Chains A and B, each alone.
Chain A
């Protein structure tokens, strides 16, 4: 299995500001994913981040709002830009481990935008 840590674990931010979330994995992985979980909801995939290439965004998510960096095989960042209260969610980092069939999740970053 993979051990994933995220920083910060939670934050309260003002409308119009930006927050960068860090994700660190204890082993090298090819594919990293960023998800959003709105209150009481299931997970929604924001983007897939592969090292050495631009992130691939899902429908409804754009790079200007959620820029992603993937500088190496163990680290990625997600920035939530120009935040509004609708961005209040849990943001989770995820990687595929093992033989490629199991997906592991970080503890999440709980964001509240006022």
Chain B
């Protein structure tokens, strides 16, 4: 079946550190892949997406590359800020319904 596995949090980093949040998936066919972010007290916002193999999604300094050979879609950012503190959800959409990972809480210390 289809599923998403992402690294468990919380992840705590200092400001300006390099960030990686791992995400791997299991799917039949060629799903679209997404990262969503949920800031404290808010709903989900689409952060970036990739719709086919080798596509790179990017937004707000975050990047993720659709790697079909490793079934991964790791989220990276070169230099995090305190304002990036949030919960990050990896997701895949093989058909009509989107499937979410469990979320990774990120704390950035000043």
Q: Which residues of A are interface residues toward B (Cβ below 8 A)?
A: 1, 31, 33, 41-43, 45, 48, 90, 92, 96, 101-108
Contacts and interface: CB of A to CB of B under 8 A. Distances in A.
A1 B49 CA distance: 13
Contacts of B103: 41-42
A101 B33 CA distance: 9
B93 A101 contact: yes
A42 B101 contact: yes
- Pick the 7 closest A-B CB pairs, nearest first: A105-B44, A107-B43, A108-B43, A101-B32, A42-B102, A42-B100, A105-B43
A107 B45 CA distance: 9
Given A43-B100, A45-B97, A48-B96, A102 B49 contact: yes
Contact of A106 (B36, B43, B102): B43
Interface in B55-107: 89, 93, 96-98, 100-103
Given A42-B100, A106-B43, 10 more contacts: A41-B103, A42-B103, A45-B97, A48-B97, A92-B44, A101-B32, A101-B93, A102-B46, A107-B43, A108-B43
B100 A92 contact: no
Interface residues of B, number: 19
A96 B46 CA distance: 12
A1 B96 CA distance: 17
Contacts of B44: 43, 92, 105
A41 B102 contact: yes
A48 B97 CA distance: 9
A52 B107 CA distance: 44
Nearest to A1: B46
A101 B93 CA distance: 7
